Amino acid sequence: MTSVNSIRPRWALPTRPPGHDPILFALAMRDMRLTWRARGVLAELATGYTDDDRPLMHQLSSLTREERLAAEGREAFRKAVVELRALGYLAPEGDGVAERLAVNFDAAKDARPVHERLRLDDDYDRS
């Protein structure tokens, strides 16, 4: 069995901070139109890949169970991508299996954040 520490990432780790607007990123992560799964995929794709090292769609969807570790499978990933595309968070670049997914945080301008009644009160002890 392969240990977690012996598995090398297939794609380069980010070498720079993400270039997106942090406010739009925060709105996207709180957009109640998205499932938790879709938010996770969006966060992964927004973690500072350069244009040259962004993984292709088929590379992400074809990860083996051993490579995914705790991550969900192909069908879950596919559903999250469909959801993100439908709301405009992802746009395809290329076609078919050679397609890269470009993140578009402009879609967060239409985000529907958590309803007011679910927000923490000012008196909430955050310690």
Report the C-alpha gap between 64 and 122 in whole angstroms: 46
Using the CB atoms, write b or e for 46-65: b if 16+ within 10 Å: beebeeeebbbbeebbebee
Alpha helices in 6-109 (DSSP H): 22-29, 36-45, 57-61, 65-68, 74-87
Residue 83's identity, in one-letter code, is E
Report the C-alpha gap between 65 and 68 in whole angstroms: 5
Q: CB neighbours of 25 closer than 8 A, spacing ≥ 6?
A: 18, 46, 105, 108
127 residues of the chain, pLDDT tens digit each? 445 455 555 666 667 777 788 899 999 999 999 999 999 989 988 886 776 677 777 777 777 777 777 777 788 888 999 999 999 999 878 766 567 778 899 999 999 987 655 555 555 454 5
What is the per-residue pLDDT for 97?
A: 56
Number of alpha carbons in the 13 Å side-chain half-sphere of residue 104? 17
What is the per-residue pLDDT for 105?
A: 92
Closest CA to 74 of 30, 32, 37, 36: 37
Report the C-alpha gap between 28 and 113 in whole angstroms: 8
